[in-house]
Amino acid sequence: MRRQKAVPVGEIFLEMIRRNGLEEGVVRVDIFNAWNSVVGERYSRYTTSKFFRDGRLVCTISSSAAKSTLIMHRLKIVQKINTILGKQIVKELIVK
């Protein structure tokens, strides 16, 4: 039996995620966590649902005042989310 080079556990998990087609789900979780981080507790508590597909992050907001504020700042929010993710994944933010 031949000894192989040690592989970090994180790399093993990433490979398992890729092989099982779970990468998109992991990215979604990262995006939703970044949303909560960027908008903060004040606005995330008004977020009733989040959906991501094809570069579009769609968030439903229960407060009209919060919705107006988020719409005004949506470009900055997208930039900050992408900065946290380290890639340009979110192309558009739709606030409903």
10-residue averages of pLDDT along the chain (96 residues): 76 74 82 97 96 96 98 98 96 98
The predicted structure's pLDDT at residue 22? 65
Helix, strand, or coil (residue 80):
helix
Give the list of residues 6+ apart from residue 94 with CB closer than 8 angstroms, or none: 56, 57, 58, 59
pLDDT score for 1: 58
| CATH topology for the 9-95 domain | GMP Synthetase; Chain A, domain 3 (3.30.300)
pTM for the full model? Answer: 0.81
**Amino acid (1-letter code) at residue 19:** R
The pLDDT score that the predictor gives to residue 46 is: 97
Residue ranges per structural domain of the chain? 9-95
